[in-house]
Amino acid sequence: MVSEETSKLELGLKCPMCGSNLQLIENSTYVVLGCPHCKVYTRMTKKHIYRSYINYEGKYVHLKWTELIKELYIRISGRSHQESSTT
């Protein structure tokens, strides 16, 4: 059994509900943005990220990081209005 590698990153972005720093969690399948205090999370598959947020410029791979974070942030703001999380 291979344990899933998870990395956690605290961002300067503030939670729209409580104002604490949001966390970016990444494992082999998903990138998750969430607030550990409000227990609100939104996730995106890496497959989707590779499809929508990566530019190939010659031999360089450019991740549209700001756009990705913005999209996740919009999703999490939307989540704050609906209590139940549907995945």
Count of residues of this chain found to bind Zn ion when the rule CB under 5 A is applied: 6
Binding flag, residue 37, Zn ion (CB under 5 A): yes
Close Cβ partners of 56 (under 8 Å, ≥ 6 residues apart): 62
Q: Residue with structure tokens 């497959």? A: 47
Rg (CA), the chain: 14
Binding flag, residue 17, Zn ion (CB under 5 A): yes
5-13, 36-44, 52-60, 69-77 -> range binding Zn ion (CB under 5 A):
36-44
Q: In this complex, which beta carbon is closest to Zn ion, that of residue 23 or of residue 71?
A: 23
13, 25, 38, 49: which one binds Zn ion (CB under 5 A): 38
Q: Distance between CA atoms of 87 and 80, rounded to whole angstroms?
A: 15
The dihedral through the CA atoms of 73, 12, 46, 25 has a sign that is negative
Binding site for Zn ion (CB under 5 A): 15, 17-18, 35, 37-38
